[in-house]
Amino acid sequence: MKVVERPEMKTTERLYIGEVLKGLFVTMGHVLKNLRNPQGMPVVFFPEQQKDLPPATRGRHRLMKREDESPRCTACMLCATACPAECIHIKSPDPNIEKLPEKFEIDMLRCVFCGFCVDACPLDAIRMDIPEIAIAGYTRESLVYKKEFLMDHDNKDIVADYNPPRPVIWTHGPHAKP
């Protein structure tokens, strides 16, 4: 068994007061630096300004489409089973016809953005690659994404260096886009 020795404190450090003063000088240095040069503060004016997201960002969900604009999803329920937050609600019609989801809802208020649904999907029908990370709304209903909303995209692959301007999506309220 390896015994990790605690670093021995010197007597000056034990007195605490000297270290406190050192710390106070450090923070005062920051204050003086930032008062003298406010433009030097590493600040992003969110949401007007946004940082570039890394290519592997797990963002908002979308449902991929076939060539005839129908969803790739076959309502196999694997994503809903894998979901630890139980936020995916799928309803499939009569099993005797070709299976397509009748209802596919993702409750964003429950979603934990773990990406298990993407890993579970055998048909690559659900992806989390729309680079939006600040999702906001004014009502609970507006944050339960319906099938139509999830399929409202151009079905192209979002390539690694995809870095468009990303406004915050307000689905309701004064900032809502028409």
Partner 1 sequence: MDNQIFALINIAVMTGLMWFIPLQFIPFFIWLERKGSAIIQDRIGPNRAEIFGVRLFGMVHNFADVIKLLMKENITPSHANGFYYLLAPFWSMTVSLLPLLVVPLAAPIELAGHTIRFQAANFSVGVLYVLSITSMGVFGVILAGWASNNKFSLLGGLRSSAQMISYELSMGLAVVGLLMVYQGVQIDGIVETQGRLLTLAGHPLPLPNWGIFLQPVGFFIFLVASFAETNRNPFDLAEGESELVAGYHIEYSSVKFALFFMAEYSNMVVAAFLISTLFLGGYQVPFASTQDLLQKPQLALLLLCGGGILGGGFLGSIFYLSAKDQRSLHTGMKRWEPYLFAGLGFGVAGLALILMVISFNFSFPVWAPGVLTALLQMICLLLKVLFFCWLFVWVRWTMPRFRYDQLMNLGWKLMLPLALLNLLVTGVVLLIQN
Give residues in contact with partner 1 (CB under 8 A): 20, 23-24, 26-28, 30-31, 34-39, 41-43, 45, 48-49
CB of 25 to partner 1, least distance (A): 9
Residue with Cβ nearer partner 1 (45 or 94): 45
139-to-75, 85, 124 alpha-carbon distances in Å: 28, 20, 30
Of residues 27 and 96, the one with the C-beta less far from partner 1: 27
Pick the closer one to partner 1 by CB: 23 or 55. 23
Q: Which is nearer to partner 1, 7 or 38 (CB)?
A: 38
Distance, in Å, from the CA atom of 127 to the CA atom of 173, rounded to the nearest integer, reads 28
Q: Please, what is the minimum distance in Å from the beta carbon of residue 20 to partner 1?
A: 7
Pairing verdict, β 135-136 and 126-130: unpaired
Rounded to the nearest whole angstrom, what is the least distance from the CB of residue 139 to partner 1 in the complex? 19
Question: 89 in helix, strand or coil?
Answer: strand
Interatomic CA distance for residues 166 and 156, integer angstroms: 17
CB contact set of 14 (below 8 Å; sequence gap of 6+): none
